[in-house]
């Protein structure tokens, strides 16, 4: 990050790689275009970051100031406003709940999606194509459409009120299955054959050969699952309700639709909900952007 | 091969176990109280029972109850301490009853999954608009026997029996408190606009026309909105029906009525309704006194805006006086509550309230224990040491928090109880009652007629009316009659679909 | 026999995944269809009513409005949500210095939880003088404007916010596609005197055409799911101007009337429309969607 940033001011820039080539004559037209490119990029940076900056600043305001001040910055940087809201909402409990939801979901996503993809990519038992096609169709139908009956089933099986349905739901993710399958297909068949010859059972091939070779895709699936579970609130809201297991986003959803909270506290709650994913992003930023570029898929 | 099969079986087994675990965790955590979850240590007879003169208290009652009326963790410490005190009294009087606090901010959307999943608290507090739906859908427990055994069934007002009961005379809840719609006033803005009389009191509007004129002065003098009008979702229609009544949308011009064939008809295009909508239109386009974001402002938002001094007036009720004051920081001295402004067609004020109801899995013992707790917190018609102490503690805590301490709108037919409530409010009064007397006198001296909500699907009706209001206040040249006609057609479609088949 | 055993074990290995897909997706989808033909009370099916739910919702103005709105969402999301990432990818691809920085920063809004982003933008578009955009306009000497109360503006605003969140991530995918273009093509074109527009037209556009069409169909599927965005921002208002099919489904089911039958009818109609889009797409492609 840092080195790349300084690159911006480095005289010895690397050669051009885009549509505009170093071959291009240094006409005014080209120069203007290059200038325009950087202007747009600067605007993009402001658009992407300013709202985040604003909400953090808004968190320093109290209700009266928030409702009446026409300044971006607060009158004073009173950090106790954040700590007060933090303590008052006892949001640490919601962080923990989100954490539980994430851990179970990641395990479930890796194991169940991985096993299904293993079947579809490598084992290929008779009739697997039907399942494969059904998984592909699932990609095309938004899960939201199935929300109402799913909710009813969860209530019927009396699974409401705890994380179980959320964990298991992560095991039915069509995108993950497709990702795993694509990756498994690229594993040379000879390696798997050799393991079979050595008498490895099918499951052992999965756990000892296929998964260890698939670390990159496991990382991608994990990142997507973490991000998805952290942000999700519709199914979690229907499953967890307003009970003690509320995740951060469910809490925020209840706040935002019922307004049982003052606007200034709401802005601080928004900040609390943004901080963990932003921190995680900057830690795993390289891995994430590279993996998306190489696997060419969207989160 | 065999090994892998075994592994699969184990995996599936674990899967099933996980599901089961979920349920176990649920009940184990004590967040729900199903019928069988009373503590095992039941038989222990209470060793030292206080000398309790109240004969409804049954010290041998055994139950676990979850109480949704508990204040949230985020509530001020004093309020939580108050409830901890109630819990102590409960423990002394009902040693075998376990009280589980479970703050629950009721909305239908929240309640449904919890009621179905068995995680709803035994006691919760829906507004008076919802009991008919909850009862017809089987989502609340029948507590008729418990109420009778507790001896409070005969103190119900007949209207509440109708509201909280079904056609077989079974009763599913009890009233918590009533509200009467009036108007909240931010006195600071009246002062800033020079609207203060020689006694130092704000010159508040008495009629809807005066609301418009007063609002204009405030807008001109302070730049702030004269009136905050929450015109999102259903709130706009809710307030609009009251305005329409005062333009005369009652009697033969009633908003909802049954024709001679028993068919329910919506009448949004009567002369009074049209005038009322022209009034709203004038507030926006002629007097320009509404808050800018009216169509996305909801009930809580309106209190935000009045409490932080962004608007001077708000149509709101006596049960929400804590919102702009203690909740949003407006000092009690700067707050007044006045009667709903009269209109050319009458002076009505919408009355409604909040009920206590019980989750569908609540059994008789749990209902009895909940009633025992409600008596202790002073909301049941009993006058004894416990209830008086609770009322005083509640009033004292409210005063400390900066909530105006006001006499309640009676929920029970019990003169002694009402008189006690009034006396306690007097004792802890922290406001200049001249700013509130008009409101409380208006419905006892008859200057204002109290009126309940329209009979059918009010939420749906409010939604349609709100949509019409949104159109009128966002498009200057929108036609009033067309908007109302469309809302009427839409609601009539709904009525025909739901009740007129 | 051994072969059969092997097949059986393979199926066993896939079984947990299949069960989960069944429970969370396939069975509920079928149930949706079934439930749309029933009158419901609470969560129970009361009686079979044929197409009554469908007829009834087609007679309801809010459904017709939601249907129209959903197409309006789709058009706006093609204009903004589809084109902006391509533009962004082209632009960032042209930078030499700071490319990694721009790429990363453009991605940042995507990691914010969608709900948090919506609440944040609600404050931006507030019509009060304290709304952030109004504050900024104030600096330019422009008086406060209303945004979310304007029936014609709400859908573009909602799509704009979604684009703000998603464009950086989608652009990254295009950048991957652009990186796959052989630079010699450009160089040859440059030497032949082809200007920038010609290069984009004849080299870049064909190269990312397939990727673009796949992303377009995914974009349309995503826009049909739009629900919490208007729920948080406008509650579907003003006057239903921003209600979407999925939000209407949510409202029917969880918004006060517990009308699961009509909610399912809305879901089924949405699914049918989406399948229609997919079929159209496949015909246009004249070959199987290349998921593998």
Is position A58 within any domain? no
Residue C179 has which token pair? 């990186």
Mean pLDDT across the stretch B438-453? Answer: 89
Provide the β-strand partners of residue B202.
B196
- Note which residues in 56-75 of chain C have CB less than 8 A from chain A: none
Q: Which conformational region is residue C104 in: left (phi greater than 0), alpha (psi within -120 to 50 degrees), or beta?
A: alpha
pLDDT of residue B23: 35
**Is A292 in a helix, a strand, or coil?**
helix
Q: Considering the domain delimited by B52-179+353-401, tell me its CATH architecture.
A: 3-Layer(aba) Sandwich (3.40)
* Separation of alpha carbons A160 and A151, rounded Å: 9
Is position A35 within any domain? no
DSSP B151-169: T-GGGS-HHHHHHHB-TTS
pLDDT of residue B170: 93
pLDDT of residue B214: 96
Q: Pairing between strand B63-67 and B97-101?
A: parallel
Task: Give the count of beta carbons closer than 10 Å to the beta carbon of residue B79.
Answer: 17
Nearest CA in chain B to C122: B296
pLDDT of residue A16: 65
DSSP label at B355? E
> Which of B105, B299, B308 lies closest to A242 in CB terms?
B105
Domains B52-179+353-401 and B180-351+450-498 alike in fold: yes
Phi first, then psi, for residue C47 (nearest 5°) are: -150, 150
pLDDT of residue B116: 73
Residue C215 has which token pair? 């992303």
* Separation of alpha carbons A286 and A293, rounded Å: 11
Residue A187 has which token pair? 């594993």
Weakest-pLDDT range from B63-77, B163-177, B296-310, C220-234 = B63-77
pLDDT of residue B247: 97
For residue B348, give the H/E element and its range: strand B348-358
Q: pLDDT for B281-291, tens place per residue?
A: 999 999 999 99
| Contact residues on chain C for B475, CB-CB shorter than 8 A | 151
Residue C205: partners with Cβ closer than 8 Å, 6 or more residues away: none
| Contact residues on chain B for C257, CB-CB shorter than 8 A | 133, 460
**Is B28 in a helix, a strand, or coil?**
helix
CATH fold of B180-351+450-498 reads D-Maltodextrin-Binding Protein; domain 2 (3.40.190)
pLDDT of residue B405: 95
C258/B contact by beta carbon, under 8 A: yes
pLDDT of residue B30: 32
| Contact residues on chain B for C60, CB-CB shorter than 8 A | 490, 493-494, 497
**Is B94 in a helix, a strand, or coil?**
coil
Q: pLDDT for B182-241, tens place per residue?
A: 999 999 999 999 999 999 999 999 999 999 999 999 999 999 999 999 998 889 999 999
Residue A266 has which token pair? 């709401």
| Contact residues on chain A for B31, CB-CB shorter than 8 A | 161, 243-244
CB–CB contact C235 B232 (8 Å): yes
Mean residue pLDDT of chain B comes to 85
Nearest CA in chain A to B72: A89
User: Count of residues for chain C?
Assistant: 292
CB–CB contact C13 A115 (8 Å): yes
For residue A269, give the H/E element and its range: helix A263-295
> Which of B233, B294, B474 lies closest to C150 in CB terms?
B474
B470 min Cα distance to partner chain C (Å): 6
For residue A221, give the H/E element and its range: helix A215-231
User: Count of residues for chain A?
Assistant: 299
* Separation of alpha carbons A235 and A144, rounded Å: 9
| Distances, alpha carbon A15 to alpha carbons A6, A12, A23, A229, B393, in Å | 16, 9, 11, 41, 77
* Separation of alpha carbons B212 and B191, rounded Å: 17
* Separation of alpha carbons C120 and C118, rounded Å: 5
Question: Please, are residues B268 and B198 in contact by the beta-carbon 8 Å criterion?
Answer: no
Domain coverage including residue A199: 90-260
Residue with tokens 């527009």: C197
Residue C169 has which token pair? 């991530």
What is the SS3 assignment for chain C?
CHHHHHHHHHHHHHHHHHHHHHHHHHHHHHHHHHHCCEEEECCEEEEECCCHHHHHHHCCHHHHHHHHHHHHHHHHHHHHHHHHHHHHHHHHHHCCCCHHHHHHHHHHHHHCCHHHHHHHHHHHCCCCCCCHHHHHHHHCCCCCCCCCCCCCCHHHHHHHHHHHHHHHHHHHHHHHHHHCCCHHHHHHHHHCCCCHHHHHHHHHHHHCHHHHHHHHHHHHHHHHCCCHHHHHHCCCCCCCCCCCHHHHHHHHHHCCCCCHHHHHHHHHHHHHHHHHHHHHHHHHHCCCCCCC
Residue A24: partners with Cβ closer than 8 Å, 6 or more residues away: A30, C190
B391-422 burial code (b ≥16 CB/10 A, e <16): bbbbbbbbbebbbbbbbbbbbbebeebbebbe
| Contact residues on chain C for A230, CB-CB shorter than 8 A | 113
pLDDT of residue B119: 77
Q: How many CB pairs under 8 A join A and B?
A: 107
A247 min Cα distance to partner chain C (Å): 13
Question: Please, are residues B338 and B442 in contact by the beta-carbon 8 Å criterion?
Answer: no
Is position A242 within any domain? yes
A245 min Cα distance to partner chain C (Å): 19
- Note which residues in 152-171 of chain C have CB less than 8 A from chain B: none
CB–CB contact A259 B308 (8 Å): no
Phi first, then psi, for residue C80 (nearest 5°) are: -100, -60
Provide the β-strand partners of residue B253.
none
Phi first, then psi, for residue C46 (nearest 5°) are: -95, -55
C3 min Cα distance to partner chain A (Å): 10
How far from each other are the two terminal CA atoms of chain C, in whole angstroms? Answer: 32
Closest C-alpha to C154, from B293, A68, A143: B293
Residues of chain A with pLDDT under 70: 1-17, 22-26, 242-243, 258-260, 289-299
Is position A133 within any domain? yes
Question: Please, are residues B214 and B226 in contact by the beta-carbon 8 Å criterion?
Answer: yes
| Distances, alpha carbon C251 to alpha carbons B464, C8, C227, C241, C243, in Å | 14, 45, 10, 15, 10
pLDDT of residue B192: 95
pLDDT of residue A159: 80
Indicate the pLDDT class of residue B483, thresholds 50, 70 and 90.
very high
- Label residue B260 exposed, middle or buried (CB < 10 Å: 0-12, 13-18, 19+): exposed
pLDDT of residue A31: 80
Question: Please, are residues B297 and B305 in contact by the beta-carbon 8 Å criterion?
Answer: yes
Helix%, strand%, coil% for chain B, nearest 5: 50, 15, 40
Q: Pairing between strand B348-358 and B123-124?
A: antiparallel
CB–CB contact B116 C43 (8 Å): yes
C25 min Cα distance to partner chain B (Å): 18
| Distances, alpha carbon B364 to alpha carbons B49, B134, B145, B149, C179, in Å | 23, 19, 8, 10, 71
Q: pLDDT for A136-168, tens place per residue?
A: 888 888 788 888 889 888 877 878 778 999 999
**Is A142 in a helix, a strand, or coil?**
coil
| Contact residues on chain B for C122, CB-CB shorter than 8 A | 296
| Number of domains within chain A | 1
* Separation of alpha carbons B362 and B34, rounded Å: 7
CB–CB contact A160 B73 (8 Å): no
All structural domains of chain B with their residue ranges: 52-179+353-401, 180-351+450-498
For residue B225, give the H/E element and its range: strand B225-228
Residues of chain C with pLDDT under 70: 1, 42, 256-257, 286-292
Radius of gyration of chain B (CA): 25
> What is the CATH code for C59-285?
1.10.3720.10
C-alpha triplet B449, B130, C67: angle, nearest 5°: 110
Question: Please, are residues B119 and B143 in contact by the beta-carbon 8 Å criterion?
Answer: no
CB–CB contact A131 C96 (8 Å): no
- Label residue B251 exposed, middle or buried (CB < 10 Å: 0-12, 13-18, 19+): exposed
B455-494 burial code (b ≥16 CB/10 A, e <16): ebbbbbbbbbbbbbbbbbbbbeebebeebbebbbebbbbb
B133 min Cα distance to partner chain A (Å): 19
Question: Sign (positive/negative) of CA torsion B272, B275, B279, B281?
Answer: positive
Nearest CA in chain A to C117: A270
Q: What is the CATH number of the domain that holds A146?
A: 1.10.3720.10
Indicate the pLDDT class of residue B6, thresholds 50, 70 and 90.
very low
Radius of gyration of chain C (CA): 24
Q: pLDDT for B43-91, tens place per residue?
A: 344 444 444 456 778 888 999 999 998 987 767 777 888 899 999 999 9
Of C28, C170, C255, which to mutate for an interface test with A (greatest number of A Cβ within 10 Å)? Answer: C28
Residue with tokens 């709105």: C69
């Amino acid at each position: 990050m840092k080195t790349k940033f300084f690159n911006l001011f480095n005289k010895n820039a690397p050669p051009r790689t885009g549509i505009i080539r170093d071959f291009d004559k240094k006409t005014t037209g080209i120069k203007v275009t290059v200038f325009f490119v950087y202007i747009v990029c600067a605007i993009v940076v402001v658009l992407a970051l300013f709202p985040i900056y604003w909400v953090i600043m808004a968190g320093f305001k109290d209700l009266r100031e928030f409702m009446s001040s026409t300044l971006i910055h607060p009158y004073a940087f009173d950090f106790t406003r954040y700590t007060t809201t933090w303590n008052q909402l006892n949001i640490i409990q919601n962080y923990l709940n989100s954490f539980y939801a994430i851990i179970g979901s990641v395990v479930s996503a890796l194991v169940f999606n991985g096993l299904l993809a293993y079947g579809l990519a490598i084992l290929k038992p008779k009739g697997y194509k039907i399942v494969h096609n059904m998984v592909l169709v699932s990609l095309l139908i938004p899960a939201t459409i199935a929300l109402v009956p799913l909710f009813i089933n969860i209530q019927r099986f009396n699974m409401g009120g705890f994380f179980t349905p959320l964990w298991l739901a992560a095991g039915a993710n069509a995108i993950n299955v497709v990702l795993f399958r694509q990756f498994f297909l690229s594993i040379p068949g000879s390696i798997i054959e050799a393991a079979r010859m050595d008498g490895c059972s099918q499951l052992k091939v999965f756990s000892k050969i296929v998964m260890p070779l698939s670390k990159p895709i496991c990382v991608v699936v994990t990142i997507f699952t973490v991000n998805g579970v952290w942000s999700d609130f519709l199914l979690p809201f229907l499953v967890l309700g307003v009970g003690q297991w509320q995740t951060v986003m469910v809490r925020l959803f209840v706040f935002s639709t019922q307004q049982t909270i003052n606007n200034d506290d709401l802005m601080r709650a928004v900040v609390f909900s943004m901080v963990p994913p932003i921190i995680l992003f900057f830690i795993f930023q390289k891995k994430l952007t590279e993996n998306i570029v190489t696997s060419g898929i969207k989160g | 091969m065999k090994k892998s099969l075994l592994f699969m079986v184990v995996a599936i087994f674990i899967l099933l176990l996980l599901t089961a675990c979920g349920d176990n965790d649920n009940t184990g955590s004590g967040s729900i109280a199903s019928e069988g979850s009373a503590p095992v240590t039941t038989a222990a007879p209470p060793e030292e029972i206080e000398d309790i003169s109240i004969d409804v208290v049954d010290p041998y009652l055994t139950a676990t109850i979850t109480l949704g009326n508990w204040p949230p963790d985020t509530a001020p410490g004093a309020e939580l301490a108050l409830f901890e005190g109630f819990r102590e009294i409960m423990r002394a009087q009902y040693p075998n009853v376990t009280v589980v606090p479970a703050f629950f901010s009721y909305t239908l959307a929240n309640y449904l999954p919890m009621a179905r999943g068995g995680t709803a608290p035994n006691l919760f507090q829906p507004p008076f608009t919802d009991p008919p739906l909850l009862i017809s859908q089987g989502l609340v427990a029948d507590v008729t026997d418990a109420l009778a055994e507790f001896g409070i069934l005969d103190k119900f007002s007949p209207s509440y029996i109708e509201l909280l009961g079904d056609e077989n005379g079974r009763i599913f809840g009890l009233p918590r408190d009533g509200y009467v719609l009036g108007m909240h006033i931010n006195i600071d803005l009246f002062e800033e606009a020079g609207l203060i009389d020689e006694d130092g009191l704000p010159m508040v509007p008495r009629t809807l026309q005066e609301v418009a004129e007063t609002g204009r002065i405030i807008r001109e003098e302070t730049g702030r909105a004269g009136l905050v009008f929450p015109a999102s979702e259903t709130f706009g229609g809710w307030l609009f029906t009251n305005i329409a009544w005062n333009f005369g949308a009652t009697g033969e011009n009633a908003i909802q009525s049954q024709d001679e064939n028993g068919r329910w008809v919506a009448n949004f295009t009567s002369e009074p309704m049209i005038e009322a909508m022209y009034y709203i239109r004038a507030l926006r386009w002629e007097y320009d006194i509404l808050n800018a974001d009216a169509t996305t402002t909801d009930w809580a938002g309106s209190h935000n805006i009045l409490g932080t001094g962004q608007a001077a007036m708000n149509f709101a009720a006596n049960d929400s006086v804590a919102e702009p004051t203690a909740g949003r920081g407006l000092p009690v001295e700067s707050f007044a509550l006045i009667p709903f402004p009269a209109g050319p067609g009458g002076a009505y004020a919408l009355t409604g309230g909040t009920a206590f109801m019980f989750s569908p899995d609540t059994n008789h013992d749990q209902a009895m224990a909940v009633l025992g707790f409600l008596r202790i917190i002073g909301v049941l018609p009993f006058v004894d040491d416990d209830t008086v102490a609770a009322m005083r503690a509640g009033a004292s805590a409210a005063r400390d928090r900066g909530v105006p301490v006001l006499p309640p709108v009676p929920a029970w037919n019990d003169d002694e109880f009402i008189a006690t409530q009034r006396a306690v409010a007097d004792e802890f009064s922290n406001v200049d009652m001249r700013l509130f007397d008009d409101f409380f006198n208006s419905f006892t001296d008859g200057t204002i007629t109290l009126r309940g909500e329209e009979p059918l699907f009010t939420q749906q009706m409010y939604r349609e009316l709100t949509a019409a209001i949104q159109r009128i206040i966002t498009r200057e040249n929108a036609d009033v009659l067309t908007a109302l006609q469309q809302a009427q057609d839409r609601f009539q479609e709904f009525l025909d679909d739901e009740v007129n088949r | 026999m051994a072969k059969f055993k092997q097949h059986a074990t393979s199926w066993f290995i896939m079984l947990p995944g299949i069960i989960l897909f069944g429970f969370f997706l396939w069975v509920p989808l079928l149930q949706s269809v079934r439930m749309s033909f029933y009158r419901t009370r609470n969560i129970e099916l009361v009686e079979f009513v044929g197409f009554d739910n469908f007829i009834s919702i087609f007679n309801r103005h809010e459904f017709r409005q939601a249907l129209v709105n959903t197409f309006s969402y789709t058009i706006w999301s093609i204009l903004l949500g589809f084109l902006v990432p391509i533009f962004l990818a082209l632009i960032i691809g042209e930078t030499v210095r700071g490319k990694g920085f721009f790429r990363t920063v453009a991605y940042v809004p995507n990691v914010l939880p969608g709900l948090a982003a919506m609440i944040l933008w609600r404050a931006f578009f507030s019509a009060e003088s304290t709304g952030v955009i109004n504050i900024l306009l104030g600096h330019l000497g422009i008086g406060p404007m209303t945004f979310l109360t304007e029936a014609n503006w709400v859908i573009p605003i909602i799509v704009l916010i979604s684009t703000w969140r998603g464009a950086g991530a989608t652009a990254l995918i295009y950048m991957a596609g652009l990186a796959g273009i052989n630079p010699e093509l450009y160089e040859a074109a440059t030497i032949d005197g082809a200007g920038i527009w010609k290069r984009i037209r004849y080299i870049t556009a064909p190269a990312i055409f397939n990727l673009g069409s796949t992303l377009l169909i995914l974009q349309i599927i995503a826009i049909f799911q739009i629900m919490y965005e208007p729920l948080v921002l406008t509650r579907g208002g003003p006057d239903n101007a921003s209600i979407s099919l999925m939000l209407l489904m949510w409202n029917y089911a969880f918004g006060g009337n517990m009308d699961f039958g009509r909610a399912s009818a809305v879901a089924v109609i949405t699914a049918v429309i989406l399948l229609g889009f997919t079929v159209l797409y496949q015909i246009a492609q004249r070959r199987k969607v290349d998921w593998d």
